[in-house]
Amino acid sequence: MHGREGPGRESRVLSVKLGGSVITDKEKPFTLRLGLVEQVAGALAEAAEATGSRYMIVLGGGSYGHVAAHELRRGSAPVPEALSAITAAMLELAQAVADVLSMKGLRPVLYPPHAFCQPRGLRPGCAWRHVLEAFHAGATPVLYGDAYPCSSGWCIVSGDELAVEAACAIGASHVLYVSDVDGIYGVGGKLLERVTLNDVARLASLSSRQSGYDVTGGLARKIEALRENWCSTLRGVWVVNGLFPERVKALIMGERVPATLVLP
Ligand SMILES: Nc1ncnc2c1ncn2[C@@H]1O[C@H](COP(=O)(O)OP(=O)(O)O)[C@@H](O)[C@H]1O
Ligand SMILES: [Mg+2]
């Protein structure tokens, strides 16, 4: 046993959301950060090997889904075109990331949310049975933010809420939001080590710092997603900087790294 901070060795199942800001270059449309994806996947694989941890993995849209959605909304594209283009963009990203996860031995299986989820507000409403079966068979389910048909035409289900519902469906003790910041910053820019969901929701600065395209709204969305979907098996949510892949590994190993733990 190392430190006391991360999910630790006894916590075997984690829901890991790989933020679009980490796996893609949010400033450049359709750009995968391949080297970083390899390092983060390697970190997850090594931590799994060392601790016996298992993962549900959820991908953010980054410069694939968000850029496609942004452009289509601006041009008010017809619904079927938008659905087709966004789901295709996200499948392309997911397949590229899954290839890397596979190379690292994580045995990914892709689950396109538009095919098995029925979101209402921030509740994804996915039919998890097949996903859980694959997980229990030893595979690593991979989901991602996606577009789906809704009453106003097309809507987006974000990886942020999928990661929480996935955690609850599988009985994960923790969600890891792997993002491009060290964690959650309080007033004055100080990194918060621990924060309750209520306190963080009150942070006025929450949605003020945005970079690149994010049609689902940065950190504020994460907090709302947590409030809507939290369940009793979920003990905490870590926000950790995936631009430093070694932190992801260390956190899962139970070591102390710069990060924020969100508690219910
Ligand atoms: N108080 C805050 N602490 C940390 N990040 C914040 C805060 N307020 C807004 N943000 C923004 O939230 C972003 C993380 O959300 P997002 O871009 O959706 O990440 P990802 O797509 O990687 O999941 C950060 O890059 C940062 O710009
Ligand atoms: Mg986001």
The CATH number given to whatever domain includes residue 18 is: 3.40.1160.10
- What is the C-alpha to C-alpha distance for residues 166 and 143, in angstroms, rounded to an integer? 9
Atom of ligand 1 nearest to the CA of 186: 1
Question: What's the 183 CA to ligand 2 centre distance in angstroms?
Answer: 14
pLDDT of residue 76: 85
pLDDT of residue 3: 43
- What is the C-alpha to C-alpha distance for residues 146 and 71, in angstroms, rounded to an integer? 15
| CA nearest neighbour of 116 among 96, 151, 146 | 146
pLDDT band per the 50, 70, 90 thresholds, residue 211: very low
Helix, strand or coil for residue 239?
strand
Q: Report if residue 204 sits inside a domain.
A: yes
User: Does 226 score more than 90 pLDDT?
Assistant: yes
Measured by CA distance, the residue closest to atom 15 of ligand 1 is: 218
- What is the C-alpha to C-alpha distance for residues 236 and 232, in angstroms, rounded to an integer? 10
Question: What's the 211 CA to ligand 2 centre distance in angstroms?
Answer: 10
Q: Report if residue 73 sits inside a domain.
A: yes
Q: Report if residue 78 sits inside a domain.
A: yes
Ligand 1 pocket residues where CB is under 6 Å: 19-22, 60, 179-181, 184-185, 203, 205-207, 209-211, 214, 218-219
Q: Report if residue 182 sits inside a domain.
A: yes
Helix, strand or coil for residue 121?
coil
Residue with tokens 């820019």: 189
How large a percentage of the chain has pLDDT more than 70? 92
Beta bridge partner(s), residue 74? none
User: What's the predicted TM-score (pTM) here?
Assistant: 0.94
Measured by CA distance, the residue closest to atom 4 of ligand 1 is: 184
Beta bridge partner(s), residue 147? 156
Q: Report the alpha-carbon angle 25-29-34, nearest 5.
A: 40
Domain range for 256 = 13-263
Say how many domains are in the chain. 1
